[in-house]
Chain A
């Protein structure tokens, strides 16, 4: 009894500790997520996705900044700033008239679109979000590669071919088994019907064997179940005919 009580209180303490760790003392940091790499085609557009998670309520003071460091240079330039509910796009630099804000801070989304890509856009883009008072945490970086023609990602065709063929084979096997199962069930029901019919006939034939000399060979033909359903149905009609004949008598 006593040991039970202590174990119960122990688990209670544990739960309380977990609760306080998860809810009462959250990690005071903001987490920003982007892709690691984005591929684009020359002249095309690309979406640089950026989402974040903050332990705080999204305040009106939230700010989102996009920084760009070209592949060839060392300088990091600011290309986009969102503050006080107002997006500010770089109007003088390389991304003039080519950038669009598509995010929504209330949905924890800070994405931008870059249009009319060129090889000079190769480089690293950094998404940085501050949600005062939650300003700690790391920013996230995404590297943009601009290609003349976007190469197929490794393993896409490989996986598609393997998956497709294996799926096809599995489908064929399943269909084959289903057909076989249906066929067997049909055969079994047919057999049951036939045997039931046969039983009734035998009883009747035993009854009126004194009147009739011999049964027609129809009965023996019906015992052969290995024929196709077509012949079986034929036999059934034959059996029906025989019965009707007998009923007349």
Chain B
């Protein structure tokens, strides 16, 4: 039981870390040396390799991606908080419904954010042949199934003692 509990918490924290990293790190898109993320476009200029960043555009879709990522972090943190609350208040045999619902919501938010980014990134980044998605984008997609799985585990899980 304790091992299961520990495993769930580790999974939840892993999801949170993935969400934070993918939201913050500037590696959503890589266009020949320039990197772009939800917040800024960075590039290495010249031989002295001075790193320069400018804020990204105010495109509506980009803003909704940002909003979705922030919402998923909020929901996931809230879910972790509620899990600890429910751990001490739930009666024996109860299920962690609320915790699970919020975690699944976080997963859905990440999914919609990443999906919007996939479809709409050409609106604010001119589409060139050497555009590739960076690791932060992949982490966001990895975070989605993990969040949903941990949410489903919360819903299935019954409190033992």
The answer to whether B63 touches A166, judged by C-beta atoms less than 8 angstroms apart, is no
Does A152 contact B60, Cβ atoms closer than 8 Å?
Answer: yes
Contact of B71 among A152, A155, A162 (CB under 8 A): A162
In angstroms, Cα B60 to Cα A155, docked, is 9
Find out whether the CB atom of B67 lies under 8 angstroms from the CB atom of A157.
yes
Give residues 99-143 of B contacting A (CB, 8 Å). 105, 109
> Which residue of B is nearest A156, CB measured?
B63
In contact, A157 and B105 (Cβ under 8 angstroms): no
- Total chain A interface residues with beta-carbon distance under 8 A: 15
A159 vs B74: C-alpha distance when bound (angstroms) = 14
Q: Which of B58, B59, B67, B105 contacts A161 (CB 8 A)?
A: B67
Query: Does B70 lie at the interface of the complex (its beta carbon under 8 Å from any beta carbon of A)?
Result: yes
B155 → chain A closest CB, angstroms? 16
Residues of A within 8 A of B58 (CB): 151-154
Interface of A is mostly: helix
Min CB distance A162 to B, Å, is 5
- Contact with A152, one of B63, B105, B109 (Cβ below 8 angstroms): B63
For residue B66, CB closer than 8 A to chain A, the reply is yes
Q: B63 touching A169 by the CB < 8 A rule? A: no
Is the CB–CB distance between B74 and A166 below 8 Å? yes
| Residues of chain A with a CB closer than 8 A to B67's CB | 157-162, 165
- Which of A156, A166, A169 has the most CB atoms of chain B within a 10 A radius of its CB? A169
User: How many interface contacts (CB-CB < 8 Å) are there between A and B?
Assistant: 37
What per-residue 1/0 map shows which CB atoms of A154-194 lie under 8 Å from chain B? 11111111100110010000000000000000000000000
Residue of B67, B68, B70, B71 most packed against chain A (CB within 10 A): B67
With both chains docked as a complex, state the minimum distance between the C-beta of A188 and any C-beta of chain B, in angstroms: 18
Let me know if A157 and B63 touch, CB within 8 A.
Answer: yes
Which residues of chain A come closer than 8 Å to B68, judged between CB atoms? 161
Whether B64 is near chain A, meaning CB under 8 Å from some CB there, is: yes
- Across-interface contacts of B70 in A (CB, < 8 A): 158, 162
A12 to chain B minimum Cβ distance, whole angstroms, is 53
Does B64 contact A161, Cβ atoms closer than 8 Å?
yes
Bound state CA distance, A221 and B103, in angstroms?
42
Shortest Cβ distance from residue A76 to the other chain B in the assembled complex, whole angstroms: 31
CB of B71 within 8 A of CB of A157, answer no
When distances are taken between beta carbons in the complex, the residues of chain B under 8 Å from A152 are 58-60, 63
* Cβ 8 A contact of A155, one of B59, B63, B74: B63
Contact call A157/B74, Cβ cutoff below 8 A: no
Q: Shortest Cβ distance from B96 into chain A, in angstroms?
A: 16
The complex places the Cα of A247 from the Cα of B19 at a distance, in Å, of 71
**A 130-164 binary contact with B (CB < 8 Å = 1; else 0):** 00000000000000000000011111111111100
Using CB atoms, name the residue of chain A closest to B98.
Answer: A173
Q: Which residues of B contact A153 (CB under 8 A)?
A: 58
List B contacts of A154 (CB < 8 A).
55, 58, 63
User: Can you list 11 A-B contacts (CB < 8 A)?
Assistant: A152-B58, A152-B59, A152-B60, A152-B63, A153-B58, A157-B63, A157-B67, A158-B66, A158-B67, A161-B67, A165-B109
Interface set of B (CB-CB < 8 Å, partner A): 55, 58-60, 63-64, 66-68, 70-71, 74, 105, 109
